[in-house]
């Protein structure tokens, strides 16, 4: 993945926006140990943790040759406006805000016409009208709770799970989640079935109770008690529902084994056809439920087969009350962000407790929450379609991405050819994988059609929850329709796949597809940093290196374990390794050297060092991205290297708290943001020559000690 994203339920960010980590140098006014030996460490003691608020000051004289990250981004650092909720400022957050502004502009653009545009405008009106949402309070939730309460038998429970009308949010004991390629045969599709999400998080929380488990339980109990209390449930009824939910979730947690499957189990037992599912389901009518939801023509399923077999042990009249309690809790979880302002702000505060003391929601929160809420409502494909229609109407932006990607693929073949540590057979296999990489650039291969969605205004008796129910039905109808196709085309990008939404500020490489996805949202990074008329060098510094980064993921320590089709195992379930044994050994040696160099960095003197093994693949990708663009630049007349390197640094410009940095360091697989600038750039002659960097400068690294893998 190209970068992290915000998790709106945590202040320290994860897979969703990048929060930086720190490398505090000696004597930076941080109370650090002035006697610590920094010889041999990255930067030789001349780098500061410029991601952290207050470290870089207006009077600091920082040379580009000593600390490029701090010097190149000093203007941004000094002018940064810290978002009070996330306690940070960054180009990624700026891009997220820009996309939010654009999405809201679509709703007020009279030139945007047609059924899709009208549906979206109606949805945004429902979403934005807090007066009407406040009048309704939590009443829209009542209908869905009542439908569950009215269930009086296992037969009716089965009918409920199969009903798109009563159960539009797809709740149940086993859920149709997505369509994707089979593990062993990536040209064949499968319907991925999954156990429902658990209120306490991981399955281990139901086996071993920790402080985190207790905190999650308190929060969940608070949420359920709050909503049911507002609906008029008694204290006893609320307690009974909470206890019943935990009994079912405990059963789910103790019988879910997908994470523990070996490869042979995944391929031979988790992958099933209808006949296999029928043999496994026992007393749990999975096929009846799926067929009622539209999956009658589907004949390929990927499922936790041990969990499916176990459901017969709980699906009985004896457990009906507890299963209903489970469904009530999960209905609330599905709808909790779609009601009135009081409940909305309470949910944000509960799931993001470090939002500070500001009143209401920050601009950063609004930008992140909006897309999250559109996903809950099932309308991200519609938003993506309209965003592309408005902001990518002419082909100039997409043409630049396509042309630059083609150039990167071409030079990458040259880079592979020049690697003297690889055998000719390995080079041939690597270039074959490169040429067969699926390139998904900005625009999916289809457009969403929501013309059939019924979205009623408040005056017509509608509300946001009803609109969300309709959106989710549209999504599932599409998923059910494509599940009937036994073939999978990894070169196709389905706009209805909300895991690959193009309005996200992100890019990604999927090993199982051997494919990259360059999102339209990531191009907003360049717009946020330099405006819509960014130069070629600025585009190359942000978007170009990102494309190169994703391509390189196909050739990092993990990506090289998958072949040109995205397979990791052949027909006989034998691991595929297109690298010769000696070449694999040499690559591992180079990757270990890279990890070791990063591990010399200590974020806080006297505390833990960076774990280089955790971030090595992202570092390999970063360096590959830079190198491939530098190769392209050789053929670009009058290429401004200074502008390029500054643009590369600007995409990682960030200000955040020390606490956030340390929290991210413990769980992020990406290098520290300012290290993504300094360590990556010091590997290349073009950078050293552009700024006349010499031995003794903080940015100098002896060529013999450079750690780039490619």
Whether residue 648 sits in one domain with residue 562: yes
pLDDT at position 207: 86
Q: How many whole angstroms separate alpha carbon 587 and alpha carbon 559?
A: 12
* Size of the chain in residues: 710
Whether residue 405 sits in one domain with residue 320: no
Q: At what angle do helices 396-418 and 545-553 cross, to 10 degrees?
A: 50
Residues 6 or more apart whose CB falls under 8 angstroms from that of 343 comprise 138, 226, 227, 230, 336
Q: Are 648 and 670 in contact (CB under 8 A)?
A: no
Please say which residue of 305, 337, 369 terminates a domain. 337
pLDDT at position 501: 97
Domain membership flag for residue 635: yes
Please choose, from the candidates 276, 300, 207, 281, the residue with its C-alpha nearest in 3D space to the C-alpha of residue 246.
207
Residue 13, pLDDT above cutoff 60: no
pLDDT at position 309: 97
Residue range of the domain that includes 249: 142-337
Whether residue 314 sits in one domain with residue 443: no
Q: Are 503 and 99 in contact (CB under 8 A)?
A: yes
DSSP string, 266-329: IIIIIEE-HHHHHHHHTTS-HHHHHHHTT-TT---EE--HHHHHHGGGT-SGGGHHHHHHHHHH
Largest separation between any pair of C-alpha atoms in the chain? 79
Q: How many whole angstroms separate alpha carbon 90 and alpha carbon 390?
A: 26
Identify the weakest region by mean pLDDT among 250-264, 334-348, 453-467, 470-484.
Answer: 250-264
Whether residue 636 sits in one domain with residue 508: yes
pTM for the model: 0.92
pLDDT at position 83: 93
Whether residue 434 sits in one domain with residue 308: no
Which stretch of DSSP H or E encloses residue 192? strand 189-194
The backbone torsions φ and ψ at residue 370, rounded to the nearest 5 degrees and listed phi first, read: -60, -50
What mean pLDDT is predicted for residues 289-315? 97
Whether residue 627 sits in one domain with residue 550: yes
pLDDT at position 9: 29
Domain membership flag for residue 609: yes
Kindly report the average pLDDT of the chain as a whole number. Answer: 92
What mean pLDDT is predicted for residues 118-124? 98
What mean pLDDT is predicted for residues 639-644? 98
Residue with tokens 């909300």: 498
Q: How many whole angstroms separate alpha carbon 4 and alpha carbon 14?
A: 6
Counts for the chain of helices (H) and strands (E), in that order: 29, 9
pLDDT at position 15: 31
Whether residue 661 sits in one domain with residue 560: yes
Please say which residue of 276, 310, 337 terminates a domain. 337
Which stretch of DSSP H or E encloses residue 347? helix 341-351
How far is CA 72 from each of CA 52, 423, 522, rounded to the nearest angstrom?
15, 40, 21
What mean pLDDT is predicted for residues 419-437? 97
Q: How many whole angstroms separate alpha carbon 702 and alpha carbon 203?
A: 48
**The domain spanning residue 598 has which CATH number?**
3.40.390.10
Q: How many whole angstroms separate alpha carbon 138 and alpha carbon 229?
A: 10
Cα angle for residues 305, 308, 312 (degrees, 5° grid): 140
**The domain spanning residue 234 has which CATH number?**
1.10.1380.10
Residue with tokens 């995944």: 266
Laid out side by side, the sheet with 189-194 consists of 175-181, 189-194, 301-302, 271-272
Q: How many whole angstroms separate alpha carbon 463 and alpha carbon 126?
A: 6
Please say which residue of 298, 317, 337 terminates a domain. 337
Residue 16, pLDDT above cutoff 70: no
Q: Are 47 and 674 in contact (CB under 8 A)?
A: yes
pLDDT band at 603 (very low <50, low <70, confident <90, very high): low
Q: Which SS3 state, helix, strand or coil, does residue 349 take?
A: helix
Please choose, from the candidates 308, 295, 300, 299, the residue with its C-alpha nearest in 3D space to the C-alpha of residue 271.
300
pLDDT at position 445: 97
Whether residue 304 sits in one domain with residue 435: no
Domain membership flag for residue 473: no
Whether residue 253 sits in one domain with residue 185: yes
pLDDT at position 18: 34
pLDDT band at 669 (very low <50, low <70, confident <90, very high): very high
pLDDT at position 601: 85
Q: How many whole angstroms separate alpha carbon 13 and alpha carbon 18?
A: 6
Whether residue 668 sits in one domain with residue 539: yes
pLDDT band at 606 (very low <50, low <70, confident <90, very high): low
What mean pLDDT is predicted for residues 12-27? 31
H helices present in 392-445, as ranges: 396-418, 424-435
Residue 40, pLDDT above cutoff 80: no
Q: Extract the tokens encoding 448.
A: 């969403």
Whether residue 317 sits in one domain with residue 187: yes
Q: How many whole angstroms separate alpha carbon 558 and alpha carbon 94?
A: 31
239 burial type by CB count under 10 A (0-12 exposed, 13-18 middle, 19+ buried): middle
How far is CA 318 from each of CA 169, 246, 249, 321, rounded to the nearest angstrom?
25, 16, 16, 8
pLDDT at position 607: 57
Q: At what angle do helices 91-107 and 115-128 cross, to 10 degrees?
A: 110
What mean pLDDT is predicted for residues 292-312? 97
For the stretch 54-88, pLDDT in tens is 999 999 999 999 999 999 999 999 999 999 988 99
Domain membership flag for residue 370: no
Q: At what angle do helices 612-633 and 545-553 cross, to 10 degrees?
A: 130
pLDDT at position 1: 56
For the stretch 461-511, pLDDT in tens is 999 999 999 999 999 999 999 999 999 999 999 999 999 999 999 999 999
Identify the weakest region by mean pLDDT among 75-84, 258-267, 372-381.
Answer: 258-267
Report DSSP state, residue 354: T
Domain membership flag for residue 466: no
Q: How many whole angstroms separate alpha carbon 615 and alpha carbon 595?
A: 7
Whether residue 539 sits in one domain with residue 447: yes
Q: How many whole angstroms separate alpha carbon 538 and alpha carbon 449?
A: 35
pLDDT at position 663: 78
Q: Which SS3 state, helix, strand or coil, does residue 89 take?
A: strand
Report DSSP state, residue 608: P
Identify the weakest region by mean pLDDT among 33-37, 39-43, 55-59, 219-223.
Answer: 33-37
When comparing pLDDT for 49 and 22, which is higher?
49
pLDDT at position 74: 98
Q: Are strands 175-181 and 88-90 parallel, antiparallel or unpaired?
A: unpaired
Residue 597, pLDDT above cutoff 50: yes
Into how many domains does the chain fold?
A: 2
Domain membership flag for residue 353: no
Please choose, from the candidates 381, 431, 442, 195, the residue with its C-alpha nearest in 3D space to the C-alpha of residue 306.
195
Domain membership flag for residue 232: yes
Residue 38, pLDDT above cutoff 60: no
Domain membership flag for residue 371: no
For the stretch 325-337, pLDDT in tens is 999 999 999 999 9
pLDDT band at 158 (very low <50, low <70, confident <90, very high): very high
Q: How many whole angstroms separate alpha carbon 585 and alpha carbon 388?
A: 45
């Amino acid at each position: 993945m190209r970068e992290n994203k915000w998790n709106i339920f945590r202040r320290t960010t994860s897979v969703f926006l990048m929060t930086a980590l720190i490398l505090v140098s000696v004597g930076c006014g941080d109370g650090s140990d002035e006697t610590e030996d920094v010889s041999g460490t990255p930067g030789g003691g001349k780098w500061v943790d410029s991601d952290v608020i207050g470290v870089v000051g207006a009077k600091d004289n920082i040379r580009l040759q000593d600390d490029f990250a701090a010097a190149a981004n000093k203007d941004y650092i000094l002018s940064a406006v810290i978002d009070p909720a996330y306690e940070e400022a960054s180009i990624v957050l700026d891009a997220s805000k820009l996309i939010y502004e654009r999405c809201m502009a679509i709703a007020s653009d009279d030139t945007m016409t047609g059924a899709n545009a009208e549906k979206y405008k109606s949805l945004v009106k429902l979403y934005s009208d807090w007066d009407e949402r406040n009048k309704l309070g939590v009443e829209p939730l009542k209908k869905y709770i009542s439908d569950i309460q009215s269930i009086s038998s296992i037969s009716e429970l089965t009918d409920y799970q199969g009903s798109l009308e009563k159960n539009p949010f797809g709740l149940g004991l086993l859920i149709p989640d997505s369509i994707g390629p089979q593990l062993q045969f990536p040209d064949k599709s499968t319907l991925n079935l999954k156990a429902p999400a658990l209120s306490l998080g991981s399955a281990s929380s139901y086996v071993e109770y920790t402080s985190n488990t207790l905190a999650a339980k308190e929060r969940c109990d608070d949420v359920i008690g709050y909503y049911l209390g507002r609906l008029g449930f008694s204290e006893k009824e609320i307690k009974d529902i909470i206890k019943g939910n935990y009994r079912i979730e405990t059963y789910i947690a103790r019988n879910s084994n997908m994470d523990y499957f070996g490869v042979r189990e995944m391929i031979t037992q988790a992958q099933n056809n209808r006949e296999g599912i029928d043999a496994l389901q026992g007393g749990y009518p999975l096929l009846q439920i799926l067929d009622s939801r539209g999956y009658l023509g589907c004949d390929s399923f990927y499922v936790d087969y041990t969990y499916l077999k176990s459901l017969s042990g709980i699906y009985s009249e004896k457990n009906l009350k507890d299963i209903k309690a489970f469904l009530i809790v999960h209905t609330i979880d599905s709808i909790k962000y779609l009601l009135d302002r009081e409940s909305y702000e309470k949910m944000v505060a509960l799931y993001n407790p470090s939002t500070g003391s500001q009143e209401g929601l920050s601009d950063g929160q609004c930008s992140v929450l909006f897309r999250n809420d559109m996903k809950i409502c099932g309308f991200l494909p519609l938003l993506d379609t309209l965003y592309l229609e408005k902001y990518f109407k002419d082909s100039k932006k997409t043409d630049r991405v396509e042309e630059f990607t083609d150039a990167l693929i071409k030079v990458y073949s040259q880079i592979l050819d020049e690697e003297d540590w690889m055998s000719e057979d390995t080079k041939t296999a690597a270039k074959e994988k490169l040429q067969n990489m699926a390139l998904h650039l900005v625009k999916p291969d289809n457009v969403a059609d929501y013309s059939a969605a019924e979205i009623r205004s408040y005056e017509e008796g509608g509300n946001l929850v009803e609109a969300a129910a309709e959106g989710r039905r549209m999504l599932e109808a599409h998923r059910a329709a494509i599940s009937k196709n036994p073939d999978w085309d990894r070169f196709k990008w389905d706009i209805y796949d909300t895991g690959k939404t193009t309005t996200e500020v992100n890019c990604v490489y999927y090993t199982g597809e051997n494919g990259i996805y360059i999102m339209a949202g990531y191009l907003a990074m360049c717009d946020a940093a330099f405006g819509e008329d960014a130069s070629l060098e600025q585009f190359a510094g942000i978007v170009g290196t990102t494309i190169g980064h994703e391509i390189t993921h196909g050739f990092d320590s993990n990506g090289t374990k998958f072949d040109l089709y995205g397979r990791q195992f052949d027909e006989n379930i034998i691991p595929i390794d297109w690298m010769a044994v000696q070449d694999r050994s040499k690559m591992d040696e180079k990757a270990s050297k890279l990890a070791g160099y990063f591990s010399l960095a200590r974020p806080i003197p006297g505390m833990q060092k960076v774990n280089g093994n955790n971030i090595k693949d992202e570092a390999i990708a970063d360096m590959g991205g830079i190198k491939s663009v530098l190769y392209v630049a050789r053929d670009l007349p009058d290429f401004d290297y200074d502008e390029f390197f500054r643009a590369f640094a600007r995409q990682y410009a960030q200000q955040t708290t020390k606490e956030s940095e340390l929290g991210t360091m413990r769980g992020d697989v990406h290098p520290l943001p300012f290290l993504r600038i300094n360590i990556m750039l010091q590997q290349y002659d073009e950078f050293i020559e552009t700024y006349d960097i010499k031995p003794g400068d903080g940015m100098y690294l002896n060529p013999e000690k450079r750690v780039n893998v490619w």
